Amino acid sequence: MHSPPLLPARRSANRVSGGAPGDSGASLAQEWLLEQYAPPAVIVNENGDILYFQGRTGKYLEPRPGKATLNIFAMAREGLRYPLTFALRTAAQEKRLVTREPVSVQVNGGEQAIRLTVRPISRPEGAEVLLMVVFEALQKTAPETGHGKGELPEDAQYPDLEQELALTKAQLQHTVEDMQASQEELKSMNEELQSTNEELTSSKEELQSLNEELLTVNAEHQKKIEELSESNDDMRNILRSTEIAMLFLDNDLRVRRFTEPMTGIVNLRTGDVGRPITDLVVNVQDEDLLRDAREVLDTLQMRVKQVRTADGKWFEMRMVPYRTTENRIEGVIVTFLDITSLRKLEKSLQDARTYAESIVATVREPLVVLDPDLRVVSANRSFYTAFRVAPGETEGRLIYALGNRQWDIPRLRTLLEEILPKESAFEGYEVEHDFPGIGHRMMRLNACKIRSDAGSGLILLAIEDVTGRPAVEPGRSG
């Protein structure tokens, strides 16, 4: 006998009494018919959790001792668990009606043959899978006899035993089939688990190898971080100790970093990092810092200039491209080296030279200034007039090569190369020589070394024309 469709659970008495009399009678009749003629059933999800009971299911399901649960696998009576497991799995996976009969269930100390039906419940796409499990008792059929009372054939004397044996054999056959199917599934699952285990083992080895590599890389990165930190500290200490004004700009001419002395040249604060140089006040006179920086980026050539600030200080400004270790250009480095003292010293030296040259120029005797290699550094106007030579063909040349070697005089060589190196000066040495164009000349030579802090000094040679004068005893150098 096939089971009728499962109806909703019975309404409560309060709900029934609230309707019309006709409706109340129909509801009561429906509930009575369901209790009397509809087979017991439950609605479960894919995991076997019971969501709804219909009818008396106590003959097939019973609570187990221990923690309370409404799982159909845990509540199934003896003989029902294996067929129920197989039927539920098949119905859920294949989404079809599954019927098993006869199924022998241990009921109240005896056995009851039932038809077990599992039907998937139609649900919207993506909703939880629900299944209806129906327990339908099978009636034992009475044996047909053609004999009078008490005249049973030999093979019909034990009809109950034969029927029970047939049911047991059928139940055993179903159980064996279920167990074989379960064994095949377990074998397939075992193979899948073995394959998964092998993959997991391989993945574990790969992860261990990767972990070791990561540890190595992490150690290398940590070492590099420490080295970079040390290098950064060294660089900061170097920049702080040199007290050089330095400004680092990126390719957009925004401030990347600067040293403390730079704040006296450009109005910079700690919060100005990231600001464009155009937003800052540059205290440099007659100089376009922005234009120079752009030219350095365009040409990649260093620019060196001497600039003056508004407070009167002089700096040597250097601009070079900022190059990374990969030789990428990522900005400009601007340095300002204070040369105020050097400019003052140059000015003092220039003034002293001008003063000395003005003195030499007023002396009527020919004077020549030689470097340690005996090359002419300068000469006064009297020298050029007396010996009829020009500055252009004199300065920077060896004294012996002047005027077609007219000064290549042996006596002069002896004085400059032998006597003067031993003595700091010599006086009154007379040298006689015939000069082309000016004739025979008698000259009295005086020379002295002009020492400097560098150790190598100049030689001042004074030439007095004593032609026609009586010869005198040469003086001693001293």
Residues constituting the chain: 478
Counting as low any pLDDT under 70, the low residues of the chain are 1-25, 27-37, 140-168, 171, 356, 361, 403, 451-456, 470-478
- The Cα-based distances of 393 to 304, 372, 374, 384 in angstroms read 34, 19, 15, 10
Q: Where are the beta strands (DSSP E) in 57-189?
A: 98-107, 110-120, 130-137
Among residues 233, 111, 201, the alpha carbon closest in space to that of 161 is found at: 111
For residue 447, the one-letter residue type is: A
Instruction: Find all residues with CB under 8 Å of 73, minimum gap 6, and list them.
Output: 48, 81, 84, 85
8-state DSSP, 379: E
Asked if residue 379 lies in contact with residue 394, where contact means CB atoms within 8 angstroms, the answer is yes
Pairing of strands 303-309, 425-435: unpaired
Q: Chain-centre distance of CA 351, in angstroms?
A: 60
Whole-number pLDDT of residue 238 = 79
Whole-number pLDDT of residue 183 = 83
For residue 433, the tally of other CB atoms under 10 A from its CB is: 15
Give the whole-angstrom CA distance, residue 80 versus residue 99.
13
Q: What angle do CA 256, 259, 264 make, to 5 degrees?
A: 110
Give the whole-angstrom CA distance, residue 170 versus residue 102.
7
